[in-house]
Amino acid sequence: MNSKALNAVLLALLLPLVGYFIMKHYSDIAIVMPRHYYADSVIVTTKNGKQNTDTIWHRVADFSMTNQLGKPVSWDSLKGKIVVADFFFTHCPTICVPMAKNMKRLQESITNAQKVGDTTNPYIQFLSFSIDPERDSVPRLKYWADRFQINPEKWWLLTGDKKKVYDLALKEMKLGMIDGEGVDTNYAHSDKFVIIDSNRVVRGYYNGLDSVDLAKLSKDIVWLTMEKNPKAKGFLAGQLQLILVILLIALLAVGIFLFLFRSKSK
């Protein structure tokens, strides 16, 4: 084998090594997903002398409400979806109008890139719960939806039993803990958007009037859409070493073949 052929084989052996370490480096970098909130319990088990901790995160309780189209809504209507929620009322004289405008901008910015011109995303649902259900009837919610040109497929305005609405806000989504100890439990009004993952676990709170927070919410929606089941592994997960060995064996075989071929030709 001449020097050029030898150098080619050595280079061919070197490239997979470099590629392996590059792939390993980037595969070890963890994407920072939105954090989980509010653990219900922590289970500690020991297996093969190693202690494992499994956190059971609080799941937002089921509910039964009615949207602006008069249709019933519950978590059964939201299976597999990421939810962005807030609490409002249509007679609100302060923050509800700018929050509705920001929610609309956010909803319209979440697009489905698979279809040109499709401005919906099948994995996201926006919910606005009325804290004044006595006055916010279905026709009143429809009026509010028409006022802001709300897409009824992707954003539901909800009314229902007042106690259940307040339980959702204060006990399930824990808005009182986020907004401060002095929150009025008789008036669950907040400027926060809450993001809830497809497992009904709260993953973040964002100021609905703050542009920086809204940009972060938009980014976190994308991360949660991409989030995979941590127990499910990809086809090549943990197989980098095996791939490297196979490549090296294949290249070594090519090198031996070239060497033998040149020896015979001489």
| pLDDT at residue number 26 | 46
Residue 145 pLDDT class (50, 70, 90 cuts) = very high
Residue 188 has pLDDT above 60, yes or no: yes
Per-residue model confidence as pLDDT tens digits over 238-249: 555 556 566 667
Strands 124-130 and 155-158, how do they pair?
parallel
Q: What stretches of the chain adopt beta strand conformation (E)? A: 39-47, 50-57, 65-66, 72-73, 82-88, 124-130, 155-158, 192-196, 202-207
Domain boundaries, the chain: 3-30+233-265, 56-226
The 10s digit of each residue's pLDDT in 87-125 is: 999 999 999 999 999 999 998 887 544 444 444 578 899
Average pLDDT over residues 124-132: 96
Class of domain 56-226: alpha beta
Is the pLDDT at 86 greater than 70? The verdict is yes
pLDDT of 153 over the 60 cut: yes
| Residues sharing a CB contact under 8 Å with residue 255, sequence separation 6 or more, in sequence order | 1, 9, 12, 13
